[in-house]
Amino acid sequence: MSDVKKVVLAYSGGLDTSVIVKWLQETYGCEVVTFTADIGQGEEVEPARAKAEALGVKEIYIEDLREEFVRDYVFPMFRANTVYEGEYLLGTSIARPLIAKRLIDIANDTGADAISHGATGKGNDQVRFELGGYALKPGVKVIAPWREWDLTSREKLMAYCEEHQIPVDFSGKKKKSPYSMDANLLHISYEGGILEDPWAEAEEDMWRWSVAPEAAPDTPTYVEISYENGDIVALDGETLRPHEVLEKLNKLGGDNGIGRLDIVENRYVGMKSRGCYETPGGTIMLSAHRAIESLTLDREEAHMKDQLMPKYAEVVYNGYWWSPERRMLQAAIDETQKNVSGVVRMKLYKGSATVVGRKSDDSLFDESIATFEDDAGAYDQKDAEGFIKLNALRLRIAAGKGRKQS
């Protein structure tokens, strides 16, 4: 007899997690609590309630976490200008710590012994969910069905559904997307299908959130983005809540063909994976945030922050959001944001998000010094001679000793 009496499952209501509910009930003889999060995936989450009830689930949690997701996870990450391996804006990675947190919260509230998820044994998400679970509840048991069962294909899953009379919205005749997709307010990802061949171009009808750049309007769209302490607070002068900001930027970006990405990334579990991503709002946010920082951050502060960013990105990608190193890095990053306030004007046009203006009351840009016109003595150009000679001293000494310089 299993020592697991109750388990909290991250439940989408789809084929995989519906099978998992029944499999947990049968394999572990336990009660299953389902948790469904609305983090802006663009699909109704309430139908998951009826599906869970049909599977005999008594405790069902369905939560709108959109604002918390953007405010407490996306915004802090964008303060760091976070990009993994030079391209990926971490849309999937950043959603996992919030889901892990709520799984543990619900486990504590319901007295559950274990948590469970539908991540496969090949990807990064199993690592992210479980690292978060162990960090927040060290003794929790984690059940990962994909590492235990033999239901290794869609056909086997469907056969299991038929055998156990599991009501899911799939049939053998219904066309299913060939891609494995994951969506939230920050992005939508695509893997599998023809994308498993890195040479094959993604099909145009795969993309859900954006038009092709060549099909975008011939007239640019402008948007003014207002910042306070490194976070966006308004668009075109209209104060918005964090999730409303991202929703609106996603629409503006998608309509203008912005945010498509096709990459091969290095997964934490060791393999390379080819994936395509749509991150229209995030692409705009990254450019705009760097623009307001260019006015308001000290040079060395900005350069050191850029040096920290790849490590921060790696920590988030690998699933260590709840680690001491992430908290340490976050504290340093947040310290830099105290004066990152102002407005950035962006031009959105056929796949590009271009900064065309920026202003701030906290700006360190001094026009009287930077001007090419008469600066009325604000900057003494003669000072440059000594500055250059001192910085050249080591080079002059080495050259004087006959050391090769090329």
What sign does the dihedral 189-194-200-206 (CA atoms) show?
A: negative
**CA–CA distance from 71 to each of 29, 74, 233, 405 (Å)?**
39, 6, 11, 51
Q: Which residue out of 16, 105, 334, 375 is catalytically annotated?
A: 16
334 is catalytic: no
Cα separation, 165 vs 163, whole angstroms = 6
109 is catalytic: no
Q: Which residue out of 180, 294, 323, 363 is catalytically annotated?
A: 180
Residue 22, C-beta contacts closer than 8 angstroms, at least 6 positions apart: 55, 160, 164, 166
Two tokens, residue 12: 């989408």
Two tokens, residue 125: 């998400």
Q: Which residue out of 12, 79, 116, 125 is catalytically annotated?
A: 125
Cα separation, 342 vs 361, whole angstroms = 7
Nearest to 221 by CA among 101, 336, 348: 348
Cα separation, 25 vs 36, whole angstroms = 18
Q: Which residue out of 96, 128, 260, 274 is catalytically annotated?
A: 96
16 is catalytic: yes
Report, as residue numbers or ranges, the catalytic residues.
16, 96, 125, 180
